[in-house]
Amino acid sequence: MQVAETAVPGAHVFTPLRHPDERGVFFESLRTDVLEEVLGHPVEVRQINYSSSRRNTLRGIHSVTSPPGQAKYVSCVRGALRDFVVDLRVGSPTFGCFDSNVLDPESGRAVYVPEGVGHGFLTLADDTCISYALTSTYVPGTQIDVNPLDTELAIPWGFTDTPLMSPKDREAPSLAEWLSRGVLAEWPHPAPPSAPPE
């Protein structure tokens, strides 16, 4: 499995080794041992979600408050989508920055979205199905939904026609509004070095 860090620190792209034969293809979508080696900490999947969408559907930008915090391992099991991660962590050197990848079942590519980082996507085909392996279960009232069309973020979604969006996403607050509420995750600063022994 090939691993590459994105422009958003802590978010990684995983590309599996595919094994095709006359029957079709096999690949490993998620290896928690590989994920944990890359991240340097244990990962426990607590919930798995799926959503299917028509072409030109825009979902996101979604995150969760901390606590409870939630990381995601996102893959596309049918169709294709343009996937975005957006750094929402206050104090991060890349706060407000994003990275994009195309996910589809042919490549098997998946994206790890760390806690405090937002996630959204635009579907490129009808009946696109996405899988999310989550590190925490759904807790009502902890969702952070940033308007995906926030002009300050200026995310290049790539749609040519008006995308299909839920009212919740269409009317979501901007990143600046979320920042003023004081609920976004903090960028993890390294611990100060310990004093040398005397």
Q: CA 65, CA 42: separation in Å to the nearest integer?
A: 20
User: Tokens 């490549």 identify what position?
Assistant: 107
3-state per-residue secondary structure call for 73-123:
EEEEEECCEEEEEEECCECCCCCCCEEEEEECCCCCCEEEECCCEEEEEEE
Q: CA 123, CA 52: separation in Å to the nearest integer?
A: 9
Given 62, 73, 112, 119, which residue is catalytic?
A: 62
Q: Residue 64 has which token pair?
A: 């969760």
Given 12, 73, 112, 132, which residue is catalytic?
A: 132
62 given a catalytic annotation? yes
Q: In this structure, is the dihedral angle defined by the CA atoms of residues 162, 166, 171 and 175, taken in order, positive or negative?
A: negative
Q: CA 107, CA 35: separation in Å to the nearest integer?
A: 18
* Active site (catalytic) residues: 62, 132
